[in-house]
């Protein structure tokens, strides 16, 4: 099994860096609500759109309400990507 | 030049923006008048007739678009370029959304599609976003990174019982790619992975633990 960090995490990291948003491990593990409160809803939405852009289809509606953290969301994206690559 | 560069119909993953047509008039009027959308937009407490509302929408607007949800083609709002100044190459963006679509994230795509269209179509130098104090807080970290604060008029607008501050933010042409790249995100290359992980710090972002 590969030890590589999933590529959607890199995508998220690069996006946050490009936007000048400080991040750390807690960024990925924090409850979604705390993350949104921290970076603001527009920035969080842009991050989602950025990640979603590499998926074959948009995130299912309501997904955000079902995941606990950004890490979980990225896991979903990685599974989706591995099953159905663009 | 690709057709998609000049057509005013812009299709995203979640929404499509397109010029408003007569069939949209009553829907937009309903959204604006029978919810808080109109008051949050430019109506404040006014309740114009549909004809007056339409005149208000199109007056001083160089581009007025309906926002349509892709999955069911419902019109969920409007976005427009208002008070365009061709000499100085700036203008204002105004928008309203049906209340249930606010705070959902994906409708932001309509703004990005629109920004892409008006900056290319009108050769804008900057586009103004205006916000009243209660909503201004919601912009969060996008302020200063993508939207630049340009001014604040204190106690400027009367909003149902109190005077609130009026913030002026600007999106500059050079910052537009930060937004429009979201419309064409693609997987990063392996060579970028290493570079990206190099900067991971254990704890940088301060998130409330409560």
Residue A20's pLDDT is what? 84
pLDDT higher than 90, residue B75: yes
> Which of B168, B173, B199 shows the shortest CA–CA distance to B83?
B168
ipTM for the complex shown: 0.79
Q: How far apart are CA B15 and CA B205, in angstroms?
A: 32
pLDDT in tens, B138-173: 888 889 889 999 999 999 999 889 999 999 999 999
CATH topology of domain B8-185: Aminopeptidase (3.40.630)
Enter the tokens of residue B128: 């103004």
B115 touches chain A (CB under 8 A): no
When CB atoms are compared, the residue of A22, A30, A40 closest to B139 is A40
Count of alpha carbons within 13 angstroms of residue B87, beta-carbon side: 0
- The pTM (predicted TM-score) of the whole model is 0.84
Strand pairing class (B162-172; B126-132): antiparallel
Q: Do B208 and A21 touch (CB under 8 A)?
A: no
Per-residue pLDDT of B80-131, as tens digits, reads 999 999 999 999 999 999 999 988 888 999 999 999 999 999 999 999 999 9
Cβ contact B136:B126 at 8 Å: no
The C-alpha of B165 sits at a distance from chain A's nearest C-alpha, in angstroms, of 19
Say what the pLDDT of residue B206 is: 40
CA distance B41 to A83: 43
Determine, for residues B200 and A40 on separate chains, whether the beta-carbon distance falls below 8 Å.
no
The answer to whether residue B196 neighbours chain A at the CB level (below 8 Å) is yes
């Amino acid at each position: 099994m590969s030890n590589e960090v999933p590529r959607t995490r890199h995508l998220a990291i690069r996006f946050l860096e490009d936007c000048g948003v400080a991040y750390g491990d807690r960024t990925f593990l924090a409850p979604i609500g705390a993350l949104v409160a921290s970076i603001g809803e527009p920035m969080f939405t842009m991050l989602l759109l950025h990640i979603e852009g590499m998926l074959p289809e948009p995130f299912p509606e309501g997904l955000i309400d079902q995941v606990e953290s950004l890490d979980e969301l990225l896991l979903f994206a990685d599974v989706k990507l591995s099953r159905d690559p663009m | 030049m690709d057709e998609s560069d000049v057509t005013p119909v812009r299709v995203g993953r979640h929404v499509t923006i397109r010029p408003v047509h007569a069939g949209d008039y009553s829907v937009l009027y309903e959204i604006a008048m029978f919810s808080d959308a109109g008051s949050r937009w430019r109506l404040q407490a006014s309740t114009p007739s549909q004809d007056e509302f339409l005149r208000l929408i199109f007056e001083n607007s160089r581009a007025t678009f309906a926002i349509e949800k892709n999955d069911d083609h419902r019109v969920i709002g409007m976005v427009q370029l208002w008070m365009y100044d061709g000499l100085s190459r700036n203008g204002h963006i105004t928008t309203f959304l049906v209340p249930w679509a606010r705070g959902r994230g994906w409708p932001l795509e309509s703004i990005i599609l629109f920004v892409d269209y008006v900056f290319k179509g009108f050769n804008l130098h900057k586009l103004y976003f205006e916000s009243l104090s209660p909503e201004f807080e919601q912009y969060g970290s996008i302020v200063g990174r993508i939207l630049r604060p340009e001014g604040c008029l204190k106690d400027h607008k009367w909003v149902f019982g109190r005077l609130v501050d009026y913030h002026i933010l600007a999106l500059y042409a050079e910052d537009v790619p930060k937004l429009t790249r979201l419309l064409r995100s693609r997987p990063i290359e392996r060579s970028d992975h290493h570079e990206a992980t190099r900067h991971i710090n254990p704890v940088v972002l301060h998130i409330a633990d409560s």
